[in-house]
Structure 1
Amino acid sequence: MCLRFAIAFTLIKICGLGPVYSANAQTTSNDTLVINVKQAEDQFLKNNLQLIAQRYNIDNANAQIITARLFPNPNFSFSNGIYASGVSNPYAEQTYGLSQLFTTAGKRNKNIQLAKISVEQAKYQFFDMLRTLKFTLRNDFYTIYFQEQSAKVYNQEINSLAKTLTVFKQQYTQGNIAEKEVLRIQSQLYSLQVEYNTLQTNIDTVQSEFKLLIKASPQVYIQPQVDTINNQDIAATVPYQRLLDSAYVNRYDLRLAQTAVDYNALNLKLQKATAVPDVSVSLNYDKLAAYGQNFLGGGISFDLPFFNRNQGGIKQARIAIDQSKIQFQSQQDQVQSDVATNYKTAIRLQQLYNSFDPTFKQNFNHLIQEVFKNYQMRNISLLEFLDFYDSYKTNVLQLNNLELSRVTSLEQLNYVTGTPFFNQ
């Protein structure tokens, strides 16, 4: 009995009172980056290469406005005589020409307006990318945080069982305990190690994406710092209609779809204007013209729109308008669906979270201590003890996953509305 008591007491010290050594050496490394979500966003805005590259598209679009505002260059021509029959000095004959093309029907102004719309589109694409990447950043941040909380549970149990296994093996070699108890501990330990490895692989994957977003070194291990998490039912405090109205105003992908309609409508006007011929005005000088020496003449030229009146371009522009209107309506429907679905999800997850007793985790910790005591007094078997401990692990993991789902559902609402309503 004393031997049993010693083994049990050792197990209790290991599981409940002994120090917990992290199975993840990176979290104690000097390369650990402790960062909160605000700091992460600041680094993201400053360093993210995708955003920096996307900004150049705005500069390129602004350069197109400069090009659209430029007038056509005048054309200069010169001709000098080389040979003429019966003329002793053909080199004396020289002609000069100067011509200027003038666009008609407001083509230049329409091209300027199209270039300005292109700038708006480039800005909307930039801000939509910003919205998407910011959501990914914050989602990754909270995913890493809660998964690391779950990893701590595995670390605690793995370290405890590893030490317990060492003690049990020593007792088994001395013939004090049965082999089945050693194998049961060993089986539980291997199972936990496999589960922990899968969890750590998921953490590493999210860490890799997060580090790319803030341009952190690949060798750095991210340790999210979360001060407080609002556990109140904040999703229900914002009316659904307000969320939807905000999405209609602040979703840049929707505004981009609207500018496509505007662009194509203006492009139709440009295509119709293209059917109007441009005019070229010229001034000509001929030193030894047949009409008389030092001949100076002026001229005008333009195409006669008998055959090509840009019928194909006009038809394509009309089709593009109809197509962009359908795409805009489809995008509106998508926005409405996104807001409705994610709002219901956030409300449902909050209700589920509220159904859990906030003292559950604390009470469960107390229950585990009581289980230790009962095992010490041999009121429960080793198998029952491990089952209780496994139940504890499962419930803590479920609570972490639930809280992660609740937080990310609010981040999803921020994303689909284009407005930072929650988790600020």
Structure 2
Amino acid sequence: MCSKFIKILLCIVAGLLLSQSGAFAQVPGNDTLKITIQQAEEQFLKSNLQLIAQHYNIGIADAQVITAKLFPNPDFNISTGLYNPGTHKFFDQSSGQDEYAGGISQLFTTAGKRNKNIQLAKLGVTQAKYQFFDLLRTLKASLRNDFLTIYFQQQSVKVYDLEIRSLQQMLKAYKEQNAKGNVAEKDVLGIQSQLYSLQAELAGLVVSIDGSISQLQLLIRAKPGTYIEPEYNYDMDGKDILSTVPYQKLLDSAYSNRYDLRQAKLAIDYNDMNLKYQKALAMPDFNLSLGYDKRGSYIINYNSLGIEFNLPFFNRNQGGIKQAELTIDQGKVQLQGQQDQVENDISVNYLIASRYEKLSNSFDPQFKGDFTHLIQEVLKNYRTRNIGLIEFLYFYDSYKVNAVQLNNIHLNRVTALEQLNYVTGTPFFNQ
């Protein structure tokens, strides 16, 4: 009786584990989005609101150039008598009593202030562009990491899903046989303990996937509640990916293509121009004016030409000049720090990627192996009573651990390469 039960149970387990269409555990939802990494990037470029908002800053900076190019508007004034005490009239315009005056003036800037201000505004446009492309680099790296994390963690979920479903079937059958006295209670408890442990691990993994999916949804503006299933083909086994790009090329590319580094260099140019502008502000501007007064001067129909400017005895913009000089020195220090950061980022991430590549390539490709064959052998030995339930569950757990670890190694390898793409500002290792 017991032998027949075991054979039936083993057939059930084998059927579940050898099936290629297991019920993949996922978040409840009506929509599932299957998407490649290239499609995700295209959707991101078209729809990401953070990126679109940042792009407006370029237009805003362009508008500031237009403003800088504009000349000051001329000032115009006109006046007339309000009350004539001799005639006791308001706005008296009678013959011989009418009085009015007017004038026009224009501000002229000196020391090239206008041109220097235009140059500052143009540098501001370039800064806005660099900020946009640096944000693009950062968000794109986040998108690719989220995409890859979801993919490999979902592969691990499949492993848990198959094992949990098989153990649920086993537990149900063992409980029925325990009630009939054919199976010991310790076997039931052993299966139950293993099942609860797997379910707890799966719950933690699914929560992690949900977090990554939520971030990816925002990046590509997928509808809330959409479950994302990345489509990805991992084909790095046995390949020396890092050897295809020399280390010096990585470093040179970072110096050329890292927009945060370009921005740090541009900040020095901006500060240099700002110093020139601050020195120009020490030079006084002047107003040139033309005026006319009908009766209010020493002669009738008085015409005047005037010039006005301040005398720079006290305020020669000493504080602005000193601040600009210190900002230049600060910018040089920040640039050096940024360069050191770039070199350190590449060194550290290259080492990490190299280690994961060596680790991944050290595995025998057949080790990933044929789970079908493994389970067949385990079932065969369990059927012939060469192994007991404890050994049988051990093989289950061993397979789960190795499969999940292998997925994590693959994930760590591809994300390390993606991090090298990020720190170099160049998609050397895009898959």
- TM-score, normalised via structure 1 length: 0.96
Corresponding residue number in structure 2 for 1:66: 66
For the residues of structure 1 that align with 2:246 and 2:22, how far apart are their CA atoms? 47
Distance of aligned partners of 1:195 and 1:79 in 2 relative to their CA distance in 1, 3 Å threshold? same
- Partner SS state of residue 307, structure 1: coil
| Matching residue of 1:169 | 175
Q: Which residue of structure 1 aligns with residue 353 of structure 2? A: 346
Residues 264 and 335, structure 2, Cα contact 8 Å, conserved in 1: yes
Tell me the distance in 2 between the aligned counterparts of 1:14 and 1:55.
58
Residue matched to 1:33: 33
User: Residue 57 of structure 1 aligns with which residue?
Assistant: 57
Aligned to 2:215: 209
Deviates more, 1:217-226 or 1:96-105: 217-226
Q: 2: distance between equivalents of 1:412 and 1:10?
A: 50
> What residue number does 1:159 align with?
165
State the aligned residue count: 421
Q: Percent identity?
A: 60
Amino acid at match of 1:389: Y
Aligned mates of 2:12, 2:330 — CA distance in 1:
68
Partner of 1:145: 151
Structure 1 residue 17 corresponds to structure 2 residue 24: no
| Structure 2: segments with no counterpart, 5+ residues | none
Partner deviation per Cα, 1:203-244 (whole Å, 9 max, x = no partner): 000000001100001121101011343331111221110000
Distance 2:134 2:321 in 1: 31
SS in 1 for 2:427: coil
What is the letter of the counterpart of residue 33 of structure 2? L
The amino acid across from 1:73 in the alignment is N
Residue deviations 1:168-217 (CA, integer Å, cap 9, x gap): 01001111111111111111101100000000000000000001100001
For residue 231 of structure 2, what is the aligned residue in structure 1?
225
Residue 109 in 1 paired to residue 115 in 2? yes
Q: Distance in 2 between matches of 1:76 and 1:66?
A: 24
> Is the Cα–Cα contact under 8 Å of residues 264 and 331 in structure 2 kept in the other structure?
yes
Please give the root-mean-square deviation of Cα atoms over the aligned residues, in Å. Answer: 1.6
Say if 2:27 and 2:227, in contact at 8 Å, map to a contact too.
yes
When residues 244 and 30 of structure 1 are mapped into structure 2, their CA distance, relative to the original with a 3 A threshold, is same
- 1:369-416: per-residue Cα shift (whole Å, max 9, x none)? 211111111111101110111001000000000000001111001000
AA partner of residue 25 (structure 2): N
Aligned to 2:421: 414
Give the residue type in structure 1 aligned to 2:102. Y
Maintained 8 Å contact 1:285/1:295:
yes
Q: Does structure 1 conserve the Cα–Cα contact (< 8 Å) formed by 2:22 and 2:158?
A: no
Separation (CA, whole Å) in 2 of partners of 1:228 and 1:396? 15
**What amino acid is aligned across from residue 404 of structure 2 in structure 1?**
L
Q: Secondary structure at the match of 1:385?
A: helix
Check the 8 A contact 2:27/2:210 in 1, yes or no: no
- 1:245-294 deviations in whole A, cap 9, x for unaligned? 00000000001111111111100000000000001000000011332111
Structure 1 segments unaligned to the other structure (5+ residues):
none
User: Contact 1:75–1:98 (CA<8 Å) still a contact in 2?
Assistant: yes
Pair 1:122–1:98, CA change in 2 (3 A) = same
Displacement after TM superposition at 1:348 (Å): 1.0
1:26 Cα offset (Å): 4.8
Specify the alignment match of 2:258 in structure 1.
251
SS at match of 1:293: coil
- Scaled by the length of structure 2, what TM-score is found? 0.94
Query: Which one of the candidate residues 88, 95, 106 is aligned to 2:101?
Result: 95
Q: Displacement, 1:72?
A: 0.4
What amino acid sits opposite 2:320 in the alignment?
Answer: G
* Structure 2 letter corresponding to 1:397: V
Contact map agreement 2:156 2:403 (CA 8 A) in 1: yes
Assess if the C-alpha contact under 8 Å between 2:34 and 2:228 holds in 1: yes
- What are the residue-to-residue correspondences of 1:79-94 with 2, within 5 Å? 79-83=79-83, 86=86, 91=93, 92-94=98-100
